[in-house]
Structure 1
Amino acid sequence: MTAGTKTLTLLRHAKSGWDDPALRDYDRALNARGKRAAALIGGYLRSGGAVFDHIIASPALRVVETLAQVETGYGRTLAPEWDRRIYLASAVTLLDIVHEFSEDSARVLLVGHNPGLEDLAMLLVPNSDEPARVALEAKYPTATIAELAFEGSWADLAAGGARLVRFVRPRDLDPALGPEED
């Protein structure tokens, strides 16, 4: 399966707390709003029939907890591969990881952090005035998914080589989760 349509779904971890100044950034947990938003995104993925051949994620606590909440809304067990390189990775590092994906996987979910995820999406999706691309450029809030599609192999994915199929923020599904500090 070297050619054909591939789908890369990027999920930014949900809103985490800064309550304990003694905690390392890596160990920050989700706050109540983040848990709600992640479960909502999971329900959205389920209702849209999203299926993933492979899930790869940062092992930071807020990502682990995000996926647990997404699982609740999604209604299925997710079995991510934890990859420490994703923690606070740059777009270039994330693209290197994408290039390593098995060609047997056509639909991959990558869960991580900003600014790397946003920068990766902006790198892969050509600039345009399409509403989803404009929203992506404005801000990539917590618990937001960007679904990118492209033709070809993971190893060949390059700048400008994908199209943005959807960009869904928690506030798009529940206005109560709208701007505060995303």
Structure 2
Amino acid sequence: MSRLYLLRHAAAAWPQPGMKDFDRPLEPAGVTDARRVGKAMKQRHFLPDRTLCSTAVRARQTWGEISSGIEVETDSATFSDELYHSDIGTYSDLITESAGDGSLLVIGHNPMLEDVALALSGESEPDARRALRAGFAACGLAVIDFDGPIHSARPDKGFLKLFLRPQDLCGS
């Protein structure tokens, strides 16, 4: 069995005049959410073997908080420009090429993460499917299990085990 974690970056600040979307930092609530999700991942033993992260500032900052929560080095991630500006096909290719045999955490952007999560998860926990269909919240985490390695993942072959949103972690 293998596991794919799909994490949308935390809430970002509105761009300042002249600021590129790519350079938008996390807002303070986004930093707090990322810290809480990282701690929740550690508590639930959601510990990826590999991490693939968008190079956008808000995604890198999200990874910084998550990596602290799960107690791994921030520089252990692989960063990809393609996660910032790609379609579902490229996301899927990056996932299967980066996964190896273990678990993979992908930190990226919507709508691609939501599209990938829905495409890969054929079956799911009912509450997880309902939460995901309500929208892939900022700093939301989809946990998808596969019978085989992720590098051979195909549409509808994963099982959506959980969709965790920061608001689900009140008091964490």
TM-score, L = length of structure 1: 0.87
Cα deviation, residue 69, structure 1 = 1.5
Partner of 1:81: 78
Contact 1:88 1:116 in 2 (8 A): no
- Which of 2, 17, 20 aligns to 2:16? It is 20
TM-score, L = length of structure 2: 0.92
Query: Which of structure 1's runs of 4+ aligned residues deviate more than 4 A?
Result: none
Say which SS state the counterpart of residue 110 (structure 2) adopts: coil
The structure in which a higher percent of residues are helix is 2
Cα deviation, residue 155, structure 1 = 3.5
Partner of 2:113: 117
Partner of 1:179: none
Consecutive unaligned residues of structure 2, counting only runs of 5 or more, are none
Cα deviation, residue 165, structure 1 = 1.1
- Find the aligned partners of 1:88 and 1:143 in 2 and give their Cα distance: 18
Partner of 1:100: 97
Same amino acid, percent of matched pairs: 29
| 1:8 aligns to 2:4 (yes or no) | yes
Alpha-carbon RMSD across the aligned residues, in angstroms, is 1.7
- Find the aligned partners of 1:18 and 1:164 in 2 and give their Cα distance: 31
The number of residue pairs the alignment matches comes to: 170
- Find the aligned partners of 1:12 and 1:57 in 2 and give their Cα distance: 10
Partner of 2:42: 46
